Chain A
Amino acid sequence: MAIEYLLVTYPDQREVLANGERVGSTNHTLLLPSDEYIITLEGEGYQPPSQDVVLTGTSEGKPMVIAFVPATKAAAIGAKVAAVKPKPAASRRKAKNV
């Protein structure tokens, strides 16, 4: 069992939960034993709802960094992505044959 380094970022200070237990705050590197964790934040209004991380191979100079964003921001990003639609598969095949 090794001690690992995890940094969870979020615009505001929130409590970080590892498998449902409070382990510290966002935006400050945290110490945790090497393991697989489901990371969530306390409260609501953030995305994604949880992140499954395998915490291993980190160091004090190179923590694992995961990010959460406010749900409204995530929705806005999602809308932008949906607006840029990929070309349909059929038209791509047609273009190749030309």
Chain B
Amino acid sequence: MFRRLVWIAVLFVLAGCAATRFENYPLAAGQTNVERRTVDVSHPERPLILVAVSGGGSRAAALGWVVLRELRNFRYATNGQGRSLLDDIGVISSVSGGSVIAAHFALYGSEGLDQFAPDFLEPDNMRTLELDSVDPLNWVKLAIRGSSRIDTVEAMFDQQLFKQKTFSELNQPGKPVLILNATDMASGEVFAFTPGRFNDICSDLDQEPISVGVAASSAVPIVLSPVALRNYSATDCRDATAPAWIANKLEGRFAPYVNLEEFKLARYANDLRHGKNSYRAIDYLYLLDGGLADNLAIHGLIETISSPYAAQAIVDRSSATQGSGTILEAINRGRVKKLAVIVINARPDPANTISQTDTRPGVLGMIKSVTSVPIDSTTASVSSQMEVLLAQLKAAGGGGSGDPQFQGLHIYGIQIDFDQLRAGDPKQRELRDKAKAIPTLWTISKDHREVLEEVGTILLHQHPCFQRLLIDMNVEADFDLDPNFAKTGCRQATD
């Protein structure tokens, strides 16, 4: 393994001298990126399922794949037709390794899940990257084209999974809303590959290769180079009109005090657009692994659920109201009665011997802590924001004054985490230790895949909110449901 990383590092040194190649294209005059995806909420008896897949290389990709495949196994009848829970996924947000399976699912759907393992989880992807690093042709490309080491990862994604397909194929009616999250290296802000964000930088998302978005989301700092984008807003979209909410936020007297987070989002969007009183001049963007800002990809879900300015992909074909709206609007109209949020956390936590050593840790140990501890801390903070949001929405489901149409809303917060494997059960404890020790690489062994297949299935099945969802929907399960456990562990405001 160390030798492989050395070979890859050789490539990286050679890449250091090349000019930067920017990997995005400007919008044509008068053009904007339009949200074409549609998530149908015409049938409130169906749940709306939102999924977040964390970082963690092929470990995260594999765990995400196991959970999605498992959701496909749970079927129910609605409106005279059979349907699986997988069909109810409306939004999928991801970072790093999770972005590989998220983009694959968004592109190829339910049928594509059968091909994911042979195409990505079974091959030795690290060997592919290593071979590319010693290929002299690659050195020429680095020197002449201005390519960088992230290009080898993009090429691997394209060759094995995405076949040069672009976001235009993802941004289609009936497709789930995919949110691939990277981190803006300059500001630390989350940069998502979405139509709205690409409007902010006056760049054509339809032309953008999916492999670039996944690579940006997975660009581990130092080991890989950042994905470079050019901001065309000052040159090609000078006369573009910004959404009203940005100016309202920045000029509002109370906005920075009442909701500082949203204020900062408005400021970032304004900066990207070179708007009035910009805080930063952003002409170029260098994107790194999305896990630096949020390793659970929850930011994207929080914004999608609660923001009035989120992706307008929700359609209600039974309503007289024309056009699409946000999830929040659909909740306010009573069109969403069951909201399930599944967060798949593939965080490793291998045994650390520091606390058993009487020797002070050295530089390498500190570097590891400096990189992993802040990421874990930020992730924990965002995770609790999601818990609070879901708790508030759950409470709202109990109703209140003013004839709310969101009365009866049920919330199913399902976080999949290795720590939920029961320490008191010897088998689960063994699986937990094995899962947490799976390294973060682009290759995963057959044994490790099998561990994750077992772990993912157990964690989903034994979650009280997943069981509650199955019971509330009368979905048949191939394992014993415990209604008392489900109702106690996933209480709703209407209980």
A residues in contact (CB < 8 Å) with B:
1-3, 5, 7, 15, 18-25, 27-38, 52, 54-56, 59-63, 65
Contacts and interface: CB of A to CB of B under 8 A. Distances in A.
Given A21-B326, A22-B329, A25-B332, 6 more contacts: A1-B261, A5-B396, A21-B308, A28-B332, A31-B331, A62-B401
Closest 6 CB pairs between A and B?
A: A60-B400, A29-B402, A24-B332, A20-B244, A19-B245, A29-B404
A31 B402 contact: no
B23 to A, nearest CB: 31
Contacts of B389: 1, 3
A7 to B, nearest CB: 4
A35 B259 contact: yes
A1 B387 CA distance: 12
Interface stretch (B133-141, B246-254, B364-372): B246-254
Interface in B385-436: 385, 389, 392-393, 395-396, 398-406
Contacts of A34: 258-259
Interface residues of B, number: 40
B254 A3 contact: no
A33 B325 contact: no
Contact of B400 (A2, A15, A35, A59): A59
B255 A29 contact: no
B239 to A, nearest CB: 19
Contact of B402 (A7, A15, A35, A54): A7
B328 interface: yes
Contact of B306 (A3, A19, A22, A61): A3
5 contacts: A3-B389, A5-B404, A24-B332, A29-B401, A62-B401
Contact of A56 (B252, B258, B261, B332): B258
Contacts of B399: 60
Contacts of B395: 60
Nearest to B395: A60
Is the contact region of chain A dominated by helix, strand, or loop, or is it mixed? strand
B332 A33 contact: no
B114 to A, nearest CB: 39
A18 to B, nearest CB: 5
B21 interface: no
Nearest to B309: A21
Contact of B403 (A3, A29, A56): A29
B326 A63 contact: no
A22 to B, nearest CB: 6
B306 A54 contact: no
Contacts of B454: none
**Interface-central residue, A25, A35, A52, by most chain B CB under 10 Å:** A35
Contact of B309 (A19, A25, A65): A19
Contacts of A2: 392
Nearest to A33: B306
Contacts of A65: 402
B307 interface: yes
Given A24-B333, A60-B399, A31 B393 contact: yes
A25 B316 CA distance: 15
Interface in B311-335: 321, 325-326, 328-329, 331-333
B376 interface: no
Contacts of A3: 306, 389, 392-393, 396
B88 to A, nearest CB: 21
Given A3-B392, A25-B333, A36-B253, A20 B245 contact: yes
B401 A63 contact: yes
B127 to A, nearest CB: 45
**Interface-central residue, B244, B308, B333, by most chain A CB under 10 Å:** B308
